[in-house]
Chain A
Amino acid sequence: MRILYFAWLRTKIGVPAETVELPAEVTTVGALVEWLKTRSERHADALANSKVVKVAVNQEHVPYDHPLSPGDEVALFPPVTGG
C-alpha cells in the first residue's frame, strides 16, 4: 500500500511517501496509524498525537474507523491551513 506524508509529517518521518506491506490484521485507518508507529522512532514521534494526524483515502477525508482496501492511496497530514 502506498502511503503519502505531507507538511511536518513528511519532514518528521523524513520521506514524502513509502510503500508498505500491511499485516492482515491492519484493516482500518486507525490500525494503520498504530502499525506505522512501530516502523521507526521517527514514525512513532511524528504520529504520537493522533488528534493532529488527519487521513485521506483515495483523496477523500476519512475518519479513523474507515476500512482499507488493497490499492488504496492513503495520505497522512496535519490539519490543513490553506486559504
Chain B
Amino acid sequence: MTVRVQAEDFDVGAEYAALTAGRTSVGGVTLFAGLVRDIAGGEAVSAMTLEHYPGMTERQLEAIEAEARRRWPLDEVLIVHRYGRLEPGDQIVLVATASAHRDAAFDSCRFLIDWLKTRAPFWKLEATPGGERWVEAKDSDDAAAARWVE
C-alpha cells in the first residue's frame, strides 16, 4: 500500500525503479503522470495551486487503491499526488500499477486516475491574466469514473 501526498516533486524513473526492485513476478507496469497545462478553457494559466483536505485525502486514496486491488491482481500500486503552488510543466500526480500481465496494469491504472479525479478531496486554483479562478469539476470526469461502476 503506497499513497503519498506531498508538496515536493517526484522522479518518475526513481519511482519506477523502486516499484519493480526485486519484483520478478511483475510482467508489466503502467505509469500515468499528470502535468500542469499552460492553457485551460482558452485562457493562459501561469500557475496552479492545489488545496486538499489532509487526512481525508490519504484515506480516500487508500480506499481507491484497495478497490483497485480488489478488482485486479496487482503486485504493486503507487499513487503520488502533489499539493501547493505549481507551474505549467510541473508534475501533479503519478499513478503506477504493476502486475503479472498488461491488461491488469493498464486497466487498473486508468481506473485509479478516473476514480481519484472524482473522489480525492483536491481543488485547483488557477492563476490567469483575468485573475484567480477555482477550476470547476467536469462532467467528462464524472462520465469517465462512471464507466467503472460495477
Contacts and interface: CB of A to CB of B under 8 A. Distances in A.
A12 to B, nearest CB: 10
Contact of B118 (A6, A8, A75, A80): A80
B142 to A, nearest CB: 9
B116 interface: yes
Interface in B100-121: 113, 116-121
Interface stretch (B7-15, B17-25, B132-140): B132-140
Contacts of A78: 123, 134, 137
A56 interface: yes
Contacts of B117: 80-83
B52 A82 contact: yes
B55 interface: yes
Contacts, number: 72
Contact of B56 (A7, A56, A79, A81): A56
Nearest to B132: A11
A61 interface: yes
B43 interface: no
A37 B125 CA distance: 25
A81 to B, nearest CB: 4
Contact of B116 (A4, A7, A61, A83): A83
Given A7-B134, A75-B56, A81 B123 contact: yes
Contact of A82 (B55, B59, B81, B134): B81
11 contacts: A4-B53, A6-B53, A7-B51, A60-B56, A75-B56, A75-B121, A79-B118, A82-B50, A82-B81, A82-B121, A83-B113
Interface of B: 34, 50-53, 55-56, 59-60, 81, 92-93, 113, 116-125, 134-137, 141
Given A78-B137, A83-B81, 9 more contacts: A4-B53, A6-B51, A56-B53, A59-B55, A80-B117, A82-B93, A82-B122, A82-B124, A83-B34
